[in-house]
Amino acid sequence: MLRRVLPLLWALLIPLTSLEAVLAAEVEFHNDGPLAELGLPFSESVRVGDLLFLSGQIGSGAGDKLSPGGIKAETNQILLNIAATLEKRGLGMEDVIKCTVFLADISEWAAFNEVYVQHFTAPFPARSALGANGLALNARAEVECIAAY
């Protein structure tokens, strides 16, 4: 019986100690990127301890206009936006540990990946992807990510 209970106790204890470390970490909110002047209700990024959480990026340059050219052009701009945000915080694309990808049309997955691999190299960050019905500004894609210091 003890052999069955000990692994369960460890499985419960490890997340609790990690949660304690996160709750004790200092939190910094950053909103000094190109969209800050638009007064949108979110922070560009948030640092919690050694992790930097980036808000979702769409394929717009300075301001609120999408890069013309469809999924590939938007994906390229998204990843340039992410790289610029990371650089402001002393990080690079190699520091990204997790991405979440939202696609307006999941059939554009292959085209998205063609551009994605031009910005990331192996070992690639962990990644989740899903189809979304309605992204901001009718974007084709949105990507949010987490980086580690």
What total number of domains does the chain contain? 1
58 occurs within a structural domain: yes
Each of the 149 residues of the chain gets a pLDDT tens digit; together they read 545 544 544 555 556 555 566 567 899 999 987 666 777 789 999 999 999 999 999 999 866 789 999 999 999 999 999 999 999 999 999 999 999 999 999 999 999 999 999 999 999 999 999 999 999 999 999 999 999 99
126 occurs within a structural domain: yes
How many Å apart are CA 98 and CA 82, to the nearest integer?
Answer: 12
10 occurs within a structural domain: no
The domain in which residue 135 lies consists of: 26-148
The sign one gets for the Cα dihedral 62, 75, 139, 55 is negative
CATH code assigned at 75? 3.30.1330.40
15 occurs within a structural domain: no
78 occurs within a structural domain: yes
60 occurs within a structural domain: yes
1 occurs within a structural domain: no
Q: What is the pLDDT of residues 76-111, one digit of tens each?
A: 999 999 999 999 999 999 999 999 999 999 999 999
100 occurs within a structural domain: yes
